Chains A and B, each alone.
Chain A
Amino acid sequence: MQTTAEQIEQDLLRPLFHSSGKYWIAVAIATSLLLAGVAAFGYQLYAGIGVWGLNSPVFWAFDITNFVFWIGISHAGTLISAILRLTNATWRRPVTRCAEAITVFSVLIGAIIPLCHIGRPWLAYWMIPYPSERHIWPNFRSPLAWDFFAISTYLTGSTTFLYLPTIPDFAAVRDVSTGLRKKIYRVLALGWQGTPRQWQRLEVAMHIMAVVIVPVAVSVHTIVSWDFAMTLVPMWHSSIFGPYFVAGAIFSGIAALILAMALLRKFLHLEQYLRPIHFENLGKLLLTMSLLWFYFTFAERLTAWYGNSPPEMAVFWESIRKNFAPLFWTMVVCNFIIPVPILAIKRLRTITGTAIASATVVVGMWLERFLIVVPALEHKFLPYSWGTYRPTWVEDTLMASSFGMMALLYLLFSKFVPMISIWEMKVGLQSHAGVPMVAPAEGQVALEGPQ
């Protein structure tokens, strides 16, 4: 057991101390995407939102699509980390931290986007309820005020949820480092020692956080969906939006997690830790969510079609048959037709298979957000003021830079924090009688438990 625990620490700390050239190339690409976005945003601040493709009546398009998309991706961590923790699913151990990291960074990006998309971003702080002589105060009846509270709470909660179990791992890094690195990790580890009292306290805190973060996550995406459902816009004003968005968020979150895990496995050489069983289990979850997504989409569209209300049908046919039909059916292919066979047939549910399915799901879910926002706004109640929307290069750049920012944050995270929770893997060693949690390296026999 000592050998394997030692092995765990060695394997999982290695990326912090060694980086390949490919890593730096990836960082360079991600950074340049991010900088391009910063430049585009600067141009937008200077010239006005007019440099986007928005118009009357399509006042939200790529900006809100990306906002909802990134907040949706964030449900990866919450589901995997919190729910699987609460249900004692031990296979989650190598997966929790990469999932929680996705959550924190995508919530961060999702929180930045609304600050950048408003007409006067330098006044975004007016969303904070602070005493003001000018009587500036937020309107708590507005879904955007709810967004502010929900996303702040979720960001605080998920950062806490990510940081707390990382403290012992920061201590592990501290204990094998020297010099400046040791000093930094000393601060990050807060002087963690590892006494039973500290471990007990940490576990209780994680339990409470797991219980609390799940309703917070559900509420966050529900509230984001209510940015749409609280209006009277045809095909927006639907009570299904709350559950629909939460299910869609979990769906896209799991897909993003699988993609991230596949990349980590390959580039950080974590083949012994992120094993086919993990991709299998996540693949089964992804399959479930794909079926659930289909159910919600079908239910929403069927009720609209059956009711045959003219304002709703105008939007409905735009997506199903007219201008947005290519995107709509691509979305169905990406979210359902490709993933379901891959994930349902055991022979295809490999790491590569689930990664392909996940990639199509990420694309499909982005399209789903877009198709919720734009066709409805293009076709509101008065046909005279119907409009069309095309994105401009500024919006495309901003969107690409959000992906760049996510990639950069994740790459930097993998450099400074062990991507797999070392102490949780060690716990996995001791509690797993019979089947080793960590696949033995070639030629090595893993010891199976306390001796």
Chain B
Amino acid sequence: MKALYGLYVDAAGAQRAFDLLRSASSELKLRSQQIVVVAGEPHEGYEFFDAQATSTPYRWAVLGAAVGGTAGYLLTTLSQKSYPIHTGGMSLTPAWTNGIIVYEMIMLGAILTTLVVLLIGAGLPNFKGVIADPEVGKGKILVGVVDPPEGLEPELERRLQQAGAWQVKRSATLQP
């Protein structure tokens, strides 16, 4: 896999480049998945970033909490009923005490679900290869194209430069 990208000093420049690539994607025969933005930090307030906002993890977390709570309820109540051992004059399935276990299982369900949803949603772990550049760590934002179509590379390069790139680079292999 190859990549052709421009490095931009600020999010405004990155937004310009992104808009440029997107609007020219049919002309330059690019699929939207080929356009890549890489940054060393989140950039709220810019469309290329905000467009990726999502609220599905919240719903998954609620679902996970419900599943956890149900599991906690079944774990406590069913096991207490099926193997009845009396202690201290309490009922076999006291709601107060079982409720504590249910509560903890609700929270655990939400936590584990959030973790799994993050990993899946962010595509992690991903060891296949990513575009990366040391300048990203120094604050630049990378906007570019993976596997640019043959022959259109000079045109792409020109457009990236036009958007105000600090530098335009190619990389032959992706960083593992």
Is the A/B pair a real complex? yes
A contacts, CB < 8 Å to B? 1-2, 4-6, 9, 129, 135, 137, 139-141, 145-146, 149-150, 152-153, 156-157, 160, 164, 167-168, 172, 175-176, 186, 190-205, 208-209, 212-213, 215-216, 219, 223, 422-424, 426-427, 430, 450-451
Distance between Cα atoms of A450 and B139 in the complex (Å): 11
Q: Contact between A451 and B10 (Cβ–Cβ < 8 Å)?
A: yes
State in angstroms the CA–CA spacing of A373 and B49 once bound together: 53
Chain B positions 5 through 19: 1 when the CB is less than 8 Å from some CB of chain A, otherwise 0:
000011110000000
A1 to B141, CA, bound (A): 12
Partner of A190, one of B10, B111, B126: B126
A140:B97 contact, CB within 8 angstroms: yes
Write 12 A-B pairs (CB below 8 A) sorted by A numbering: A2-B138, A6-B137, A145-B101, A156-B111, A175-B132, A191-B126, A193-B130, A196-B39, A196-B52, A199-B41, A205-B57, A208-B57
Q: Which 4 A-B pairs have the closest CB atoms?
A: A5-B139, A191-B126, A190-B125, A205-B118
- B168 at interface (Cβ–Cβ under 8 A)? no
| B residues near A424, Cβ cutoff 8 Å | 41
Give the CA-CA distance A141 to B93 in the complex, in Å.
9
Is B61 an interface position by the 8 A CB rule? yes
Complex Cα distance, B48 from A197, in Å, reads 10
Contact partner of B9 among A1, A156, A192, CB < 8 A?
Answer: A1
Q: Chain B, interface size: which category?
A: 35 or more
Within residues 11 to 56 of chain B, which ones have a CB less than 8 A from any CB in chain A? 11-12, 36-43, 48-49, 51-55
Given contacts A152-B104, A199-B42, 5 further A-B contacts (CB under 8 A): A167-B124, A176-B134, A200-B42, A205-B118, A212-B111
Distance in angstroms between the alpha carbons of A57 and B107 in the assembled complex: 37
B56 CB, nearest partner CB in chain A, Å: 9
Is A156 a contact of B108 with CB atoms below 8 Å? yes
B115's partner among A1, A5, A195, A205 (CB-CB below 8 A) is A205
Complex CA distance for A194 and B5, rounded to whole angstroms: 15
Contact between A2 and B139 (Cβ–Cβ < 8 Å)?
yes
Interface residue from A2, A192, A204 paired with B124 (Cβ < 8 Å): A192
Q: Tell whether, in the assembled complex, residue B103 and residue A219 are in contact, meaning their CB atoms are under 8 Å apart.
A: yes
Q: Mark B147-169, 1 if CB is under 8 A from A, else 0.
A: 00000000000000000000000
- One of A168, A208, A223 near B58 (C-beta < 8 A): A208
Q: Which B97-150 residues sit within 8 Å CB-CB of chain A?
A: 97-98, 100-101, 103-105, 107-108, 110-112, 114-115, 117-119, 121-128, 130-132, 134, 136-140
Min CB gap A202→B, angstroms: 7
Using Cβ atoms and an 8 Å threshold, which residues of chain B touch A168? 40-41
Cβ of A174 to closest chain B Cβ, rounded Å: 9
Give complex CA distance A157, B105 in Å: 12
Question: Chain B residue with minimal CB distance to A188?
Answer: B125
A-B pair number, CB within 8 angstroms: 190
Q: How far is A193 from B175 in the complex, measured between Cα atoms in Å?
A: 10
Does A193 contact B38, Cβ atoms closer than 8 Å?
Answer: yes
Partner of B114, one of A5, A145, A149, A212: A212
Known contacts A1-B139, A193-B132: A209-B111 contact under CB 8 Å: yes
Least CB distance from A216 to B in Å reads 5
The answer to whether A195 touches B114, judged by C-beta atoms less than 8 angstroms apart, is no
A interface, over-half SS? helix
Q: Is B80 an interface residue (CB 8 A)?
A: yes
**Nearest chain A CB to B6 CB, angstrom units:** 15
Is A194 a contact of B38 with CB atoms below 8 Å? yes
Residues of A within 8 A of B114 (CB): 160, 205, 208-209, 212
B42 & A427 in contact (Cβ 8 Å cutoff): yes
From A150, A193, A204, B54 is in contact (CB under 8 Å) with A204
Verify B140–A205 contact, CB threshold 8 A.
Answer: no
Contact of A212 with B107 in the complex, beta carbons under 8 Å: yes
* Contact status B111-A157, CB under 8 Å: yes
* Cα(A450)–Cα(B39), bound, Å: 15
- Chain A nearest CB from B114 CB (Å) reads 5
> Which of the listed residues B36, B39, B87 has the most CB atoms from chain A within 10 Å of its own CB?
B39
| Distance between Cα atoms of A199 and B41 in the complex (Å) | 7
User: B173 an interface residue at 8 Å Cβ cutoff?
Assistant: no
Collect the chain A residues with CB atoms within 8 Å of residue B98's CB: 140
> Is A141 within 8 A of B90, CB to CB?
yes
Q: Is A200 within 8 A of B54, CB to CB?
A: yes
* B76, B114, B128, B131 interface centre (most CB from chain A within 10 Å): B114
**CA separation between A350 and B40, bound complex, in Å?**
33
Residues of chain B lying within 8 A (CB to CB) of residue A430: 11, 41, 43
Given contacts A141-B90, A150-B104, A450-B10, contact A5 B38 (CB under 8 A): no
> Shortest beta-carbon distance, A105 to chain B, in Å?
19
Given contacts A140-B101, A146-B97, A450-B12, contact A175 B43 (CB under 8 A): no
Q: Provide the residues of chain A in CB contact with B42, threshold 8 Å.
A: 196, 199-200, 202-203, 423, 427
In the bound complex, CA of A57 to CA of B85 (Å):
27
B171 at the interface (CB under 8 A from A): no
B1 in contact (CB, < 8 A): no
Say how far A358's CB is from chain B's closest CB, in angstroms.
30
A86 CB to closest chain B CB, in angstroms? 14
Chain A residues contacting B112 (CB-CB under 8 Å) are 156
Task: Contact check, B131 vs A193: say whether CB atoms are below 8 A apart.
Answer: yes
Chain A contacts for B39, CB-based, 8 A: 194, 196, 199
How far, in Å, is A1 (CB) from chain B's closest CB?
6
Q: Specify which chain A residues have a CB less than 8 angstroms from the CB of B111 in the assembled complex.
A: 153, 156-157, 160, 209, 212-213, 216
CA distance A315 to B51 in the complex (A): 63
Nearest-neighbor residue (CB-CB) of B100 within chain A: A146
Given A149-B105, A205-B117, A223-B100, A176–B61 Cβ distance below 8 Å? no
Residues of A within 8 A of B101 (CB): 140, 145-146, 149
